[in-house]
Chain A
């Protein structure tokens, strides 16, 4: 599983990192989100899904890897 951040949409609400602090960080200049991992480890996928649901701007998208088994 991977996550895509739409940088046009992200306004730095910081709700993603509150839900999944190991997956998201925030830029010093404007507070917008960036990913701390390339691929979401299996044990954190639930948190990743929660983070996606927490974003008020709907700036996050899950990209499932079809070869990955859960």
Chain B
């Protein structure tokens, strides 16, 4: 089978693709950046920077409301990521203030304390699983706190959300069941608050339950569909981003030493890691009317996938796109998307990512990940990351940072 034949069956959920997607993206950009694939009943894959931006900024031609994962994960529309203007703005405006730069920065002390609490029990042993013990819990616990869901349910929510993200399109019945667990847990918490006459608005769930929009209360479904987005966007994605960066730093000691010596460049490094291995590789749109893109004609109702991860390696948009340049600037990467639907939680995600790197490098600067035992998620069709990253480091008795500051 020739390369072109294989590209015509390109499937972003393929297990082989998940092992090394970037060579495939490069071939697609070079040969056919707007490519029709026969996989999953047919869709168009968009891989070049300019075309990805063009699609993402045109909400009228390229709809999000029919669903942004392809094939769809079986559940109700998640809001507002799966809404289009003007409805989109109704929900986005409600949520924006909870994730603005100042609102996100208020979480920094709690995040730093939590990062230290998660690392502490492993310091004496000199071994840790960076994903299971750290990267998946840090964003999950903070996200549950922000929403107002019990932190003790973190493992349940992580299990449900990760099943949906990584295997959601495979077994439809199982996924419907998994989704129901989430809706049920949310409904129970809302019911508990109603029975307790708890009208507090200190957390996001309370705010959504007790706020009028255009003179009316939000419905229970609207609230659940927005909270679902925060779980979907807040749990697995940031864990993946942190894990990907740690693998890079474990295999590139010079880069790690540079970040230890110059912690002030960690914010730029965070952006570069997001560019280099975008946790959300791509999202779907549905064509609303016949149009042309990159010289190809797209028909109404056609499904398209726009690949942020590929755009982030486009040689027409970035110098040395396949190299990590820790202090790259400008860095107009698309890991958070672009346009109206740009990631709602980016400011919080960046902060979580930065604090995770700062605390890890301060407490255990000499870690080494055992890639022989590390496990990747076998499907990157939605999120690209590791499921398990066992690591060792020099054991220490006391909880002391090797470097103060940060």
Contacts and interface: CB of A to CB of B under 8 A. Distances in A.
Nearest to A31: B100
Interface stretch (A8-16, A35-43, A62-70): A8-16
A5 interface: no
B332 A56 contact: yes
Contact of A56 (B93, B267, B338): B338
B78 interface: no
- Majority SS at the chain B contact face: loop
Given A11-B338, A14-B347, A53 B330 contact: yes
A50 interface: yes
B99 A50 contact: no
B330 A11 contact: no
Contacts of A31: 96, 99-101, 347
Interface in B101-125: 101-103
B302 to A, nearest CB: 26
A57 B338 contact: yes
A13 B330 contact: no
Contacts of B340: 11
Nearest to A17: B101
B93 A28 contact: no
A13 B339 CA distance: 10
Contacts of B332: 15, 53-56
A2 interface: no
B100 A27 contact: yes
Contacts of A54: 329-332
Contacts of B346: 13-14
Given A54-B332, A55-B332, A30 B342 contact: no
B299 to A, nearest CB: 29
A28 B106 CA distance: 12
Contacts of A26: 100-102
Contacts of A15: 271, 330-332
A29 B100 contact: yes
Contacts of A55: 332
B360 interface: no
B278 to A, nearest CB: 13
Contacts of A30: 93, 96-97, 100
Contact of B97 (A17, A28, A53): A28
A19 interface: yes
B329 A56 contact: no
Contacts of A4: none
Using C-beta atoms within 8 Å of the partner chain, give the interface range for chain B: 20 to 34
A27 to B, nearest CB: 7
B336 interface: yes
Contacts of A19: 329-330
Nearest to A49: B330
Nearest to B101: A26
B369 interface: no
B204 interface: no
Interface string B68-112: 000000000000000000000000010011011111000000000
Interface string B293-328: 000000000000000000000000000000000000
B58 to A, nearest CB: 13
B138 interface: no
Contacts of B99: 31
B213 to A, nearest CB: 15
A56 B334 contact: yes
Contacts of A11: 338-340, 342
Interface string B151-166: 0000000000000000
B338 to A, nearest CB: 5
Given A27-B100, A28-B103, A30-B96, 9 more contacts: A11-B340, A11-B342, A12-B101, A12-B347, A13-B346, A17-B101, A31-B100, A53-B332, A57-B339
24 contacts: A11-B339, A12-B101, A12-B342, A13-B336, A14-B101, A14-B346, A15-B330, A15-B331, A15-B332, A18-B268, A26-B102, A27-B100, A28-B102, A29-B93, A29-B96, A29-B100, A30-B93, A30-B96, A30-B100, A50-B329, A53-B332, A54-B332, A56-B333, A56-B338
